[in-house]
Amino acid sequence: MAFMEDMAAIRDYLKKISRVVSLEADFNFFGTKLVKKEKIDDLLCCVYAKLPDKFKKYLKDGKIKKYNSVVTFSLLHSALTKPFKFNKNFYAIDPNHIKSTIAPLLTSIERDIRMMESDI
């Protein structure tokens, strides 16, 4: 039961990240959304807290391409945490890239986590 609750929380946090980037950005700078660093960091921290240890291990390893969601999550993380050149308190985020990254992540993360848990 805890697995399903964690997956629901992960999905909710990913959707919230998408909403924050799309609708709650502090500034719009030539199509790039500027979002306060602490907002994104807080949401990413919540996602990491719900991810299983195996998933975090694969993220840290960086060499595993077996799971699409690990690769996609890494791409999402790097796209979300690009500091804005003129003010390091903001991240410069391309909202289209975030939408196109979160959508496949939402469909693959649960399946991949189940596969990780069944691997020995």
Cα–Cα separations (whole angstroms), residue 62 to 25, 47, 57, 71, 95: 30, 18, 9, 8, 24
Contact 93, 79 (CB under 8 A): yes
Over the chain, what is the mean pLDDT? 91
Contact 25, 35 (CB under 8 A): yes
Contact 58, 71 (CB under 8 A): no
pLDDT at residue 101, as a whole number: 95
Residue 52 clears pLDDT 70, i.e. is over it: yes
Residue 2 clears pLDDT 90, i.e. is over it: no
Q: Virtual CA dihedral for 94, 96, 97, 102, nearest 10 degrees?
A: 120
pLDDT at residue 1, as a whole number: 53
Whole-prediction pTM value? 0.90
